[in-house]
Amino acid sequence: MSSLSRELVFLILQFLEEEKFKESVHKLEQESGFFFSIKYFEEKALAGEWDEVERYLSGFTKVDDNRYSMKIFFEIRKQKYLEALDRHDRAKAVEILVKDLKVFSTFNEELYKEITQLLALDNFRENEQLSKYGDTKSARSIMLIELKKLIEANPLFREKLVFPTLRASRLRTLINQSLNWQHQLCKNQRPNPDIKTLFTDHTCSPPNGARGSPVSVPLAAVPKATPAYTQLGAHGPFPPPAAAANANALAGWMANATASSSVQSAVVTASSIPVPSSQGPNFNSYILLCFYVETAKNSSKCTKYDRLSECRFRATNETSEARRASC
């Protein structure tokens, strides 16, 4: 994942936190593996929510990743086991021993045997090494002190324990900047535009919903527009798709605009046709008629009437009465 995509995840995390989507925040932290919240981890461990503790931890490391990770998982599962024994819940203790602690027997078989022998004691505090074990709350706090040291020393958690410094509502700020930029591209800019969606690019509607009158002219007569903006990808600074890399930036931007404000390549207004200032008032009409006549000439059914119409129209733009009479 690129560095910009990684930073986008942090922006989303900040947004979710500001909007109080607590569960979503920690789910994204765990799924992305970009930020490990010691505060959340500590909160769940102190509450004895062991399944959630391991689920969250699994987004960052596994039991056999390194010796630090192995020790972290062992301390958590050992605490679960001792709490079950302290409640005299032998069935649960055996389940934890078989399902959770058995994996460590391949690394330290003697330790696993010693833990198993605790089942035979009425009170596991009779074991010399566990004689100072207090109540559940204090035992969890002591365990957390050890876990924090292991997490900080674990190279897999490097650069994942500190959230980047961001200004408040950074994602909202970027969206506002994007909307301001989109508004600068509007052909019918309105003050204080009412933006109701982020699903499509913003464009101001024409006044009173009016549209320009389309004029049918050959597309070859329309000059190609020069790009006025730097090429941007679908997400601004993110790399654009290969197919879009050579596309005109403005055309690409307008492609997703609403129908009432989009510029279609097949519809061209008369104002986009360059008209020499030296021509008379009938010049635009002259272009349209000439187009009609030239079309007729190229057809197999060209008639005398078509050529006569052309001749008469040309004569109307000349001052010679003789020329007009010749038609």
Domain positions in the chain are: 36-157, 168-203
More confident residue, 308 or 140: 140
Residue type for position 202: H
More confident residue, 67 or 295: 67
Which 3 state secondary structure label does DSSP give 121?
A: coil
- Does this model's pTM top 0.85? My answer is no
Q: Which two tokens stand for residue 164?
A: 């980047």
Beta-carbon count within 10 A of 93 CB: 23
The reported pLDDT for the residue numbered 78 is: 96
Tell me: the pLDDT tens digits for 250-283?
Answer: 333 333 433 333 333 333 333 333 444 444 444 4
Residue type for position 136: T
Beta carbons of 182 and 203 less than 8 angstroms apart: yes
Residues contacting 173, CB < 8 A, separation 6+: 167
Tell me: the pLDDT tens digits for 87-114?
Answer: 999 999 999 999 999 999 988 999 999 9
| CA-derived radius of gyration, the chain | 38
Query: Residue 52: is its pLDDT beyond 60?
Result: yes
d(CA 17, CA 24): 9
**Which residues on adjacent β-strands are paired with residue 215?**
268
The reported pLDDT for the residue numbered 214 is: 38
Mean pLDDT of 30-53: 96
The reported pLDDT for the residue numbered 209 is: 52
Chain mean pLDDT for the chain = 74
**Which residues on adjacent β-strands are paired with residue 236?**
233
